[in-house]
Structure formats: structure tokens, C-alpha cells
Structure 1
């Protein structure tokens, strides 16, 4: 290497060293508002604030020295002005095409030793390592550099990617064909509905005509008989009155009465009226007027060929295990539950927004973790990307929506301003524009017909809020505002139905506002209360293919369905913890983001979890150090909460075993052992040991029963 090359590389290396020194060891990003602890260690103010809210007393994450906070809290700690100035200079020098892209990412650091970089690759274990990992668990194992291992596998991985893309394209083509078939079926059904309706109207008109003719016959006969009744009755009444007056009057009436009675004595009695009522007989006999509904038998369609299994490259074993399953309830509804509170992969901290792509990928706005996480419809984690605005600056995403091109629009709040940002599905920024600053969370939707971006805007304080909908073009040009005249107070979420109508949930007014495709107000429905059709602090909103409206009724802890006119139809689900955002998947599955109730159970004492499926002591094999530790375990709805002992006030952790298999073990070197095996080899396997064989069988039986109440979503 020439001297000039070495000298040219020196500034970049020095910049990298500076960046490492100016990186917060909590968030692994450049310092933001750096604060210095008494021990001289420096961290971001927000990171310390979050740490202080969760751990009391506060201790330095590096040296564990206890920190006594003053009345002002973390904000009262001294600023590290030198670190702040250097961070600012580094950020000003960085660009999207330069050093910002080259800065070390958290993915290059060891998950077990965050301060160390992954530099080596263990060939027997097939995992990337840092120096500390080699000393702790891989001493004596042959290894090579991580760069060399990556280069060796690059061609194999690229070939697999190409093959996978080809397979995906065949699937996408099949899905597009299904969409066209679905459209044709809907049109044919509408034609059939119209034909049946016309035939029904003709048949009903004939029935009405027949009924009118029968009533006319009855009325004619009634009038004729009543005339005879009146004549005979009058004659009898007069004769009866004369009889009471004396003999003379009787003699004068006898002749008249004899004539009238004689007239009717020989007259035939009235005969029943002959009518012909119309009768509808729902039999298999063809009805010429109405016709039949027929379903043509189709030839058996060939089953699409299943792609051959793709040889999997050796993968690093993950530490998380989040995947979706559905619990089988009496009404056969199915619920996918995944996530949990936290910042690890697949966990959430304030999941405020959700949308679904045509390919069935779920995109969740993980607000406090400043990222978008992507899952399959079965709840399996796929990928994630940070909600970067520009220059490394991140924002807290409050909602996410899909546009007509399959890209994402995300709205949120950064430290400097509020933004609307368009990302592709892999997280690359396509465009962005600034929004008026607001202290309230806002929703976003896309009118794919006009390619307009609809964003909620709320201003004012809690006692005097004002809300409206801002309509933008993709490059940030404001087209118009909607909802100023309807007194919106705190609009939260927004959606656009298949006809272009806009629906907005209003948290403070406890209602939903509806506007037509021309942005003209149509009606509102809801109203505060807990009865059918009433709402209490509504949040998420979406529509299904039939135009029915689904609302996350946050205050009443339920999800409601209304028809397109706002008429209440049914409760989709009740007794939820905090229903927040809803979205409709391509095949009509309803997705609902809420705070996972299992994370609430983690905070409960061991003996306070309601109605556990089973509980008792188990020994659990550690994932990192491979040491058996005795824990008090509580099984509830497919989740296992483990505690130090039964008197513990809070669980050490929780494992979600939905989709796992319970299997006996004989090769662990531990008596009375069994395992919980995941549905995918990329997910961790758990090993447990009971005190005796009887306890082992009980645990396995209750685990199978608890997991058996859940079914996998296909």
C-alpha cells in the first residue's frame, strides 16, 4: 500500500474512532443532549431518563456506581458540552452518500457483549463472534475472519436470493390472478343479485294483485248479506215493539212480518266465498317466474406446485422467540397474538399504527422504539427498519399507511420538527415533507384513487382542542383541509374506503365523521356510552370489502362493526385490554394492535396471575451459560412466567410457547427433562427439568393442553 493511500485512509479511521468514543453505550447511537454522571461517564439525556423511570435507584450502566438525582432529575445533571459540540460537527459532516452510511450499525456489534464488534466466525458453531465470545465459549474452535466468511457465502446467498425472488414473483402473479378472479366473481354476484331482485319484485306484484282480488270478492259478499240482515232485523224489531203495546198493534204487524219472514224462509243460506290465495312453496320443483340459484361445478383445479425446499444457509441462533398463533374459541374466531413490551426484535413500546400489504406483510409503527417492524400474518418477525428522517435523525412514528405503489407513508415527531416520510418496504427514504408541529399523535391514510396523502392535524390544549384533516400531494403541496365545520376536537385515526369516502375517528367527541369522495360531510355516528352503537374514546378505524366500518372502541375495551351508513352491526370482540389500531388484511383478516396482556402478567406476583393452567418449580437451562437454574413457573394461556420463587413480586421473564411442541428428553444429562421445540429452527428451543418423573408428566400434560387451545394460522 502506498504512503498516499495510508494517509488518505487515516482521517476515515480517526473519524471512526471519534464516532465510537461519542456513541452512547445504551442506544449505540451518537450522543443526543449528552449528560455527564458523577463517575464521568456520558449518556444521552433521553436514555438516562428512560433508565431512571424503570430502575430505582439509578446506577451508571458502565461502572454500576449509584447516582443520586437532584430535584430536577436527569435534566439537572451537567451537560457534556464538548461531546455535544463534537457530535454536532460529526453530524454536519455526514451525508446520506458518505460517512452516515458507513458508520457502524448496531447489527455489527455482539448481542452478548454490546461494546465489542463481531470480527470472527466460528466454523464448527457457524456463528459470528467477538473476542470475548472466543474466550468464553469458543476457545480452541477453528475460526476465520468475518469478512472472509461473508465472502465465501456471498455467492450462495445471492443465488438463494435470486431463486427466492423468482418463486415470490410466481406467487405474486398467482395472487394477482386471484384478485382478478375475485373482481369477476363480485361482478357476477351483483348481476345475479339484480336478476333475483327483479324476479322477486315481479312475483311479489302478482301476489299483491291476487290478494286484492280476493279481498274485493269478500267485501262484495259481505255487503249483500248485510243488506238482508238489516231488512230482517228491522222487521223483527218493529214486531217486538208492537207486541209490547197491545193486541191491536200486533194484528196490524202480523201481515208485514209474515211477508218478510216468508221471504227469507225459503231463501238459501249464504255460501262461502271462493278465493284463490297465492302460495309460495320452497321446494326443488322449478319455479318458472323466479328461477333457481345454481352453482356450476368446476373441474378440480390442480394444486399449485410447492417450491422445493431452499437449502438454508447456517443461521445465527436468535435470542427471541415471537411468532403468531390463534386461539380457538367457541365462536371459531381466530386471534393472532404476537409481540410484548420491550425493545428487542419483535417486541413493542407503544405500537400505535398498523397496515398490511397486498402480499400479506404486517407493518407496525413501533413508536417509542423509533422503528417499523414487519411480520407475516402468522406473527413471525421478518425485518425492521429505523424511522430515519435525514442525516441520522429519527422520529417517533405515530401511524403508517400503504399507498397504491406498495410504499409506506409514515407520520411522526422528531426532535426538530414533525414529518411525513415515504419509505419503500425495505425502509429506504423516498421523499418527505414537514408538517405543522403538534403535541398530539396523528393518523395517516392514502387516497389511492387520487394519490393524496390524508393526515390528521390537532392543535390547542386539552380543554380547547381543534382538529382537521390535511390533504397533501406526495411532494407536500397542501390541496385542501377537511372537517373544519364539523367541530372535530381530537381526531385520531383516518381511513379511506373502497368508494373514496373518508372516515375519521374523534376521540373527544366519541364519534366517527364520514365525508364523501369530494370531501363533503355526509354524517357522523357513535356518541358517548357503552351501549350498542355507542363509542367511548374511539381510536383505530378501517373498512372491509363490503364497506362495513370497524372501529377500535378503546374506552369500552372492544372492537365494533358498523355498516356503511353507520348502523351498528355487531361486537367483533370484547374485553380487550387496550384496542388501539386496526387494519384489514388482503383476505379479510382483521388485525388489531393492542398492549399485550401477557406483559401485564409479568408485573404481577407469582401467586396473583388469575386462573393459571398450572404452576410449580422447574429447572430451566440457560441459553447463554448453559446452567440449570431452579425457578418457580406459572403457565397461563400458552405463556410460561418464571420467578425466583413463589414469593417473588415480579416475574424474571416470560416465554411465549404458541406453536411449540412438548417433547420428552433423554440426552441432556439431566433427569426428568423435557423440551419445548419451536416451529422453526431459527427460534430458540427451551429445556426444562422437573423434580421427579410424576411432576414431569404433569407439566408436559398441562403444557400440551394449554398450547392445544391455540391453532396455527395458515
Structure 2
């Protein structure tokens, strides 16, 4: 014990880490680190809240401030012990008279002071100190236990009384006098001898220490594992670098090989075309020489030959020239050139390159910062929930597939629905794919590194196929509310553009949550159709006194108005990629194909349409689909104005139409048609063959549009909303 205590008394263990001097009145912070009282007081005036200088743990000071912190008497005792050992040596002056270096010396335990023989005699005679415990130097030198050098602690109220009791009710050390006056035993106070409390605290601390040692051993083993993992990390980095280098070198070799093949083909093609042109040129040069020679001969005969010469060679020359003139020589060079074509677009290839391997890790993942976005699924159709992984700073971080688990269970804990994980953005985003088999509330549990991400498990309500997944708006005129929506379109960013006939405005909504993003008025009556172009501009048709087609920027600024005399009662409108427009004209019973500036290209469907409403264009096939409301059918023209075919007849059976309104196309060329009369939204093949019914709406559906995520947006005219249904 003595040697251990001696080792504890090195200067570092007795040094305050703020002032770097020996402790002066050391105070203990809640984190068990000790500092000088004055150092903490000065630090507290500069730093709010106070943090421990060693471990940076925030400190909540008691009401008394730094003075309210516990004193570190163990350190004080070590300092006393060190002072005693030093003072027992020769040449150390008395701490009272600062002399008396020689002769007998004594240590006052109560005052913690080293005294010479003369001062010791006086100390023992003074009334205030005569009861102090004074120990001669010879005894001190023989003492090996630091516990013997503990200062006696006196009551701040009764100065001559030692603190020997502990009031459990007040949580305070008290003296014998206090137990009679201020802490009399009873209902409010319970003083107990310090020795009894100390023994109990020792037992508790020993029990805790018995738990600490195994934990320390466990942590030491963990540190060894960290060292091993760091070594493995270095190895994995080197291995990954080698793998990535080899992988991309292989890709580069393939590209270089293909480059050599293409360059060789270019040279071969060049030589082939050049050889053909050389042959053609030689043939023309030979014909030119023959004909020029014949011309020279004939010219000389005509200009300079006598009659006898003309008679002798004239017929021969005539046959020669006639023969040369009749020779079939190709005077037009072969119209060919060496041309390289990109079979894979560079922009598309760039996207593919970004998927050529990912670097992932799970060390930095913070599950509390990960996010899962769930979308309302439909029974029997594949649905996607999205996991976005992040680090403790909330920044996106890539993880590997093995670190993620996603489990979807059916209603009432029925069997799990199979899930599939697909990586995006180099493993920073993961699509969770599943196809529920029954409707009702499902439970989606998502874990990263075997820990639930924030919000997991998630409630996922699976709906039937004919139920609206998202409903945008409700009846009203406030922003976000809707009244008589007549048409709907999807802009280039996938947002839902809604044209309201009564409120005379455009509102743009988020397709995922249905919240309004922007709103601007349309200064016109009789609003009917809307569409967007490739630049995000909006087109709106109106009939009546202010008829025409209006072009707006995505911010709602009016850019142009087209109202030529040949456009009289426009309804639906569709915009092509090159900026041309097609507008249905109710009064003229036809559709007008217009240039981007509004000038007329041609009229389509004259005499073949009764009541054209909405239009959808399949540019890949050059076809235009027009709903004929009164004829209860869809009529299909090409953009040259030729009637190609039509489908539908009046009725309410599958494949029959009843006052068709909105029409749109899916990427496969299938035709989606809404019926105003019975509310059905049906799907037909590219040739007009009936495929299925998406839903039956009770809101008199008008305009239709298909979102990039595969939802059919239906403008419910009398339902005063836009409903989104799962389409695929």
C-alpha cells in the first residue's frame, strides 16, 4: 500500500490540468475529474455552460456555484502526505515562524502545518489549538499509510466541533452540536455516525468495483478487436483499390479495343469508298479523253480537211462520236462518306458509368438520421418504399446490401411479403420493392446494421386497385383547394398541374403528398385544356369572348396569346416536343395543327369528328388520339391529317364508351380514356383493343395525365379534386 501511495504522489497526479500547478482546494466535477476551485470559478465566468476541460462533458453547477461542488479530500490528503514527507527532511523551515530548520519538528494534523519545536510548544499551550493532534517527526517518518494524514474537518458553524455525523434527510455532514440544535433526530432529521455511512458506501462501491473490472477487461478485449479491425480495414482498402483498378482497367481495355476496331473499320470503309470513287473517276477520265480526242479529230476535219478527206473519214467519225455519246458513263460520284454513329448516347453512358461499382461501408451510418419514404401501395402491383442512408451529420452515405434488412408483414401478423432491395446513387439510396397480395394495414420493418432506422416499423396501408392512392384538393377557393378542375397535366419535374374552370387559375401540386407548390390566375373565361412543353412552359385553352391558346412560363408569367381567326372554340390542347400544338375546336368539329408561333399548318378531322374534346399524341408513331364526346369513340389520325382508325361505341360494358373526355398514353402506347357519363377510366391497346378498367370515379372525370411514377391523375370535375390511381 505504501509503495502504491508513493507512486500516486507523482507531480502529474497532484497537478491541476487547467493551471498546471499543484492543486489548491481541489473540487470534484460530476464526471469525477478534479480541478482547483479558483481555476473552475474563472473558467465558469468565461464558458457557459461549463464543460469539463478533460472529457468535455457539460456541467450543471449547483446553486452555490463552484463552491457547491464536492471537495477532493483524497487529493488534499496526498498533498498533506507529500508535505509531511518533505518537511521531515533536514533544512526545511517551520511553516509558522519560517525558521527552526533544525531540531525536533512536529506535524499538526488539525492545521496540516509543519512546526519547529518552539512553535509546537506554543501551539500546545494556546486555548484554540491545545486540543489539536500534534505528531512528532520521528513518528511521522515511521508512518507508511497515507490514510493517517487526513485533515480533521470541522463544522463551519461550531468551529471547534468535528464533523462526525451525517444527516441523511439533509444530505449533509454535521457535528455533535448540530445534532442537538439544527439536526435533532426526528421526523425532519436523521443524523447517523459517519463511520456507519462510510462502511455502507464502501460496501456499495466495492460491489460496483466488482462489476467494473470485468467491464474493463471486456473493453480491453474490445480495444484489441478495434486494432484487428483497423488492420483488416487497411487490408480491405488495399484489396478494394486493387479490385477497382483491375475492374476499371478491364473496362478501359474493352473501350480501347472497341476504339481500335472502330478506327480500323473507319480506315477500311474509307479505302473502300475511295477505291470506288477512283474507279468511277478513271472511267470518266477515259471517256473524257476518248470524246475529247474524237472532238479534236472531227473539228480538224471540219475546219481544215478537204472534200476528199471528209468523204473518206466523215462516216467513220460520225459513228465514233455517236458511239461515244451513247456510252453509259456514271457522271455522278458515289454519294457516300465515312460516318461514325454513336450507338450509345454519351449522356446515357455517363449514367451507366456512375453505376460501374460502388464504394460502401456501414461504419458511419447513423440509423437515427436514416429516412424511409413509403408510398401507398396497391394490391397485386409492385410498390416501392425508399431508404435513404445517412451519417451522424445527416449527410448521405453509401452502405452495402448485407447491412440492410427490410421485412414486410401482412395484416394481423400474417406471413411476410417478399421484398427486394435495389441500390441507387451508389448505394446511398435503396429501393425496397414488394408486391402485396391482400389489402389492409401492413408493417414494414427496416434495419441497418441490425438496428431499426428512425420511425421503423412503419404502417403501410395497402389499398385495392380501384381506390385512389392520393387525393389532391377539396372543394373551395383557397390555395390548395379546388373547384371544377377541368384538365390536368404533368410537367417535366413530375409535378401535377391542375386547371380550374371556376377559380380561373392554375395550381401546381407535389405528386407524392398532394401539397400545393404554386398558384397563379388565368385572366380568361371558359378555361378548358392545359399541357406543358419540354421547357416547362404551360399552355391553356379557353373559349368564349377571350378565346385562344395562352402560353405561360412555369412561374406564371404570360408569354404569348394565340387567337387567330381560324381558332374559334378551342377545347383540349397537346404540345409536341418541337413546340408545335394541336388544339381541338368544338365549333369547327376538327383539330388544328399549329406552329409554335400559332400559325396554321393544317386542319385535321374535318367532316370526321362530331365533338372533339381532348387530345393525346404518340410522337413515336406520329399518331393523334382524339376523344369524340358526342360520338362516344376515340378517333385516331396521323399528323398528316389522314384517318387511321377509331374505336369504341356507346355503352357501359367493358370497352364501350359513354361521353369520353380525357385521354392520355402510357410509354407502351396504350390508350387511357375517361368517361364523363359513367366515371370509368379504361385502358385500350395501341390498336384500340380493350385491356382493362383502372377505376370508376364518381366525380365526372375530365382531363387525364400519367405521372412518371406510374399513377393516373384524374381531374374529377364534380368531385372538386384530382385523384391519383396506381396504374402499374
Fold shared per TM-score above 0.5: no
Give the TM-score, by structure 2 length: 0.36
Give the TM-score, by structure 1 length: 0.37
